[in-house]
Amino acid sequence: MTSVHEAEPSAPVPERGPRDRDLPPTKPMSWAMLSRALAVPLTLALVCFLPAVIAAQPGSGVRDTAYWLQLVLTCYAGARLATMILSTRRRLLQGVFWMFVYIAMGVAPFAQAVIGQTPTPLVGPRSDLMTAVALVLVGCAAFDLGALLASRRPLRDRATARSANGPATAHRVRLRLLVLLALVASGYYVLKLGGPAIFFTSRQEISDSVAVSGVASGQSNVGSAFLKGFGTVPALLALLFYTRRLVTSRRARRSPSTVLVWCVLAALNVIVNNPVSNARYWFLTVLVSLLFTAFPSSAAMYRSVLALGVVGALVLFPYADRFRYDGAGYRPVDSSSVFEPLATKDYDQTVMFANTLAWVDTRGHTYGRQLAGSALFFVPRSVWSGKPEDTGVRVGQWMGMNMTNLSAPLWTELWVDFGAVGMTGAFALVGYLAARADRRYARAVSRAGPGPGSVTAVVVPLIAGYTFILLRGPLLQAMGKPAIALLCLLLVTSFRRRDGRNPY
């Protein structure tokens, strides 16, 4: 893999063809000197300064093997995140992965280890926590190995590999059908819940309205998941495609109809995808995917998202659930330290992994059953009576928790089904696929890419934003919206070769 200070070899710039005439001229990148100037202070801040500040906090934590392993994991993830931020290439999926690991599996659990308090109780022996941290480190190393293997294998160009097909682009007519689907589905969602005003109250009001609407039953949440999914996902995906068109095509910016459709989609997303009526992780998906789509070639935006994302997750995220409940149900965070909310809210991933180890010790591995339940999330429980519940819910019930809406990070999901060997291999595969997708994204947003209609230039930012949800888990809760997005992509994607003509 490329070092932080080492510039990637630049590929020869192809001549502009008719397909590229609407793309803005590219400017030579001069980030190498900036990377060198920022490398030392940024690396020291992530790897040394922040962990040292946390370690100096008062608390009753025990400084045993689990503590030192957590410190190693925090420093390792901080170094990898600094590498992603200062890389000469934009690695969206890998960058977001390391940002999540640094925050949710590194800094937050380290603060919990120092303070001596966790959001969820540890039910087993402390050795389970030590094993959990060690396994997270193993998964991270496997991810790095997979990414390294991907960097050694050249990309195949679909257009040259199969002469009958071209790169994946959005079909003009089918994209209009997606816009129509978004308007109809989101309009039905808004009307079913009682109008736009309810989307600016609280998530509790949204849940109550969904329950009253009759789409959900006591045994299954499939109906409510489809209502929320189709009400939010097509609108976001259509907005991303039209944003891609506007930022890369002068012709689109000069078209009043295109600008009008984008304005309508933007207004629609303000209603159905705002931070008041949606979970914080989903709004984070909306924000990250929109920024990466609107600024596809901006190294400054890429670095800002990763760097400021750390600050936002540590300082703002624990307080961002202001609209989860109405005024009577909201309980503000009362803390004397910026690190205290990390030990009392949200970031329970590491301790839940440790609790899952104890649960598996008593019940055994499920050998793919949990993942099968996630993959077949759309099957109602009335049809599949033995359909697995969320992994976090099952572990929470075993723990005797009253509130079982607990996280189940990807490490947990893979451990429950496949054990250490399967988890390690799966993370190597995830790292491989993430690195390949990042390289395809870099090609898609370049001058040699498919142009404004590139599907890859929209899909990779969307996956990058949703990575937080996939890594946090549980997967069963997280599968609905990606499935709807896949259906929308199947609707609009075309592989027809256009003989160099602009796809729009």
DSSP 36-83: HHHHHHHHHIIIIIHHHHHHTS------SHHHHHHHHHHHHHHHHHHH
Residues 6+ apart with CB under 8 A from 320: 275, 280
At residue 9, the pLDDT reads: 37
At residue 487, the pLDDT reads: 94
Q: CA of 379: how far to CAs of 388, 398, 479, 481, in Å?
A: 11, 24, 12, 15
Residues in the chain predicted with pLDDT less than 50, given as ranges, are 1-33, 159-163, 329-330, 499-504
119 upstream amide cis, omega within 30 of 0: no
At residue 147, the pLDDT reads: 95
Single pTM value for the model: 0.86
Residue with tokens 């160099």: 500
Sequential DSSP letters for 409-457: -HHHHHHHHHHHHHHHHHHHHHHHHHHHHHHHHHHHTSTTS--TTBSHH
Q: Dihedral sign, CA of 284, 290, 294, 297?
A: positive
CB 170 within 8 A of CB 249: no
Other residues' Cβ atoms within 10 Å of the Cβ of residue 203: 18
d(CA 480, CA 329): 28
Rounded to 10 degrees, the C-alpha dihedral 365/369/370/372 comes to 150
At residue 213, the pLDDT reads: 63
Q: How many residues are recorded in the chain?
A: 504
d(CA 52, CA 71): 10
Q: CA of 265: how far to CAs of 206, 220, 442, in Å?
A: 21, 31, 26
